[in-house]
Amino acid sequence: MRAIIWMLLDLLSVVSATWLAHRCIGGAWISPSDSAMTLGLTSSLLLLLAFVVVGVYAGKYQTRPTGAIARIVLTSLLAWAVANRVMMDKQVDQAQVSAWLDLCLIISIALMAVTRLLCGEWIRRVENRHAQARRVVVVGDAAYLEQWLPRAKREADGYTIVATWASESSPQTEHGTSRVLETLVSKAVHRDFDELWLALPMSRQEEISRYIKALQHHFINIRLFADVQKLPLFNPTATKVAGTTFIDLVTSPRQREDVWSKSLFDRLFALCALLLLSPLLLAIAALVKLTSRGPIFFCQRRKGVDGREFTILKFRSMHVHKEAAGQLTQAGKNDKRVTPVGRFLRRTSLDELPQFINVLSGQMSVVGPRPHALEHDDLYMRLIDGYMYRYRIKPGITGWAQINGARGETTKVESMARRVALDLFYIQNWSFWLDLKIVAMTVFKGFVGKNAY
């Protein structure tokens, strides 16, 4: 929300600077009508794209305007130098053009800097007003909570504390487990809360581990009350709420500073791919329809970010068939269910191309962990620790696991465990440049795989 507001304000600033500079400089080299507006909008959109790439809208700079302003100045200077070079090749009044570009640079930087210095608090309030508060359950020792809870209920913007419970010292159930822990899991299944805050000393690692393990499949953010108020903490995985530092033990990375660059990249890439590949997509659709009976697309429910289900699209590569309820058989070598056209599509990954529609609609990303069938999720989440952490981000068409050869049929648990390990490595080390590297490597080595049947 905050990044979108800043982008709109920057767009308004650059368009205004373009128009004001033209009004001040004048001249016949550009008409005062729609040409000026077209030039302003084009230059503004290109500049905004550059801002996204260099991280102007990153989360940490939304609350620290000086960092964003520094990037705005450097990027604008680079854009100004490129524009000057381009205009030198045009048959226009060079003095007038240079004066116009100089004035555009000065006015746009001034407007964007002023809006960041003056509007930051207003944007924060607008965002908090429209954001849905995160529902929090606090579990811990009374000594840790007694002084902090009243302040948290007053000052924890964006969070609503829905319950406070004693920790593992509470009565045990007949199964020998904590009643609090069982209640937490039951409420997590029904999505009755979004975050668990543990107010426990760090020395009780076993107890903390039990909460993490019990909730690992339920997409609940877990934060640890860090009793370090008198210490300087420079930990990027820490969150400060109502004057208290929480260590993020298990959280979704949606607040990651470059999330907007990834989202914008996904939509633009998917749109360009669908436009450029439309002749190929139509040809494949015709082949699928003409060579076997059944629909063009294979549609299947998969898990997306934070476990929300969506319908994934593929070109149908198998003959239409039915399997027993709750059973799903992966395609294997020489699988008779696969059509001749489908075998080629699967070997070359061309059957995955319709997933750019999923990306364009925001359900998937170009790069991310591959989503598996729901039946496979139910199986592997019990066999592989951390399996469901893969769904803390949007699933992707390609990913770190795929370019490292972990794709196709998984006949052994070890094969899936390796794939999960590669996916978790990607999530923990994600960057915009890593996505670009994976896309480039997919083009050269990721389409065809010996395990893709």
Q: Where along the chain do the CATH 3.40.50.10700 domains lie?
A: 134-251
Tens digit of each residue's pLDDT, the chain (453 residues): 566 777 778 888 888 887 787 777 765 444 444 454 555 566 667 777 777 777 777 666 665 677 778 888 888 888 887 777 766 655 555 677 777 778 888 888 888 888 877 776 666 665 555 556 788 888 887 766 776 777 777 767 678 888 888 775 544 444 445 778 888 888 888 888 888 888 877 777 788 888 888 888 888 888 887 655 444 443 346 566 666 666 666 666 655 445 666 777 888 888 888 988 889 999 999 998 888 888 888 898 898 887 888 999 999 888 876 766 655 666 656 667 888 888 888 888 888 899 999 998 888 999 989 988 888 888 888 888 778 888 888 899 988 888 887 766 666 788 888 888 888 888 878 877 788 888 888 887 655 555 554
- Predicted TM-score (pTM) above 0.75: no
Distance CA 40, CA 25 (A): 15
The reported pLDDT for the residue numbered 358 is 92
- Could you please state the CATH topology (level 3) that the domain comprising 134-251 is classified under: Rossmann fold (3.40.50)
Q: Each residue of 204-258: pLDDT tens digit? A: 778 888 888 888 888 888 888 765 544 444 334 656 666 666 666 666 665 544 5
For residue 34, the tally of other CB atoms under 10 A from its CB is: 8
Distance CA 155, CA 158 (A): 9
Q: Each residue of 377-427: pLDDT tens digit? A: 888 888 887 788 888 888 999 888 888 877 666 667 888 888 888 888 888
